[in-house]
Amino acid sequence: MNYTAEEFDKAKTQVLKYILYQKRCTQEVRKKFTGKIEENMLEDIIEYLTNAGYINDNSYIQSKIEYFKNLKNLSIKEVRYKLIAKGIDNRQFENYMDKNYDSLNEYEIKSAYNILLKKQNTCEQEEVKRYLYRKGYKSDNINKAIERLEDI
Domain extent listing, the chain? 5-55, 58-151
**What length is written for the chain?**
152
Rg (CA), the chain: 20
Q: For 5-55, CATH number? A: 1.10.10
pLDDT for the residue numbered 94: 94
pLDDT for the residue numbered 1: 65
CA dist 98 and 39 (Å) reads 34
Task: Provide the whole-model pTM.
Answer: 0.84
CA distances from 20 to 12, 52, 130 (A): 12, 13, 41
Cα 60 vs. chain centroid, distance in angstroms? 7
Q: Give the chain's end-to-end CA distance (angstroms, integer).
A: 65
pLDDT along the chain (152 residues), means of 10: 88 95 93 94 96 94 92 93 93 94 95 94 92 95 92 74
CA dist 27 and 130 (Å) reads 34
Give me the sign of the Cα torsion angle 98, 104, 108, 109: positive
Helix axes 26-33, 5-21, angle to 10 degrees: 120
pLDDT for the residue numbered 131: 95
CA dist 31 and 9 (Å) reads 19
Q: Can you count the helices (H) and strands (E) in the chain? A: 9, 0
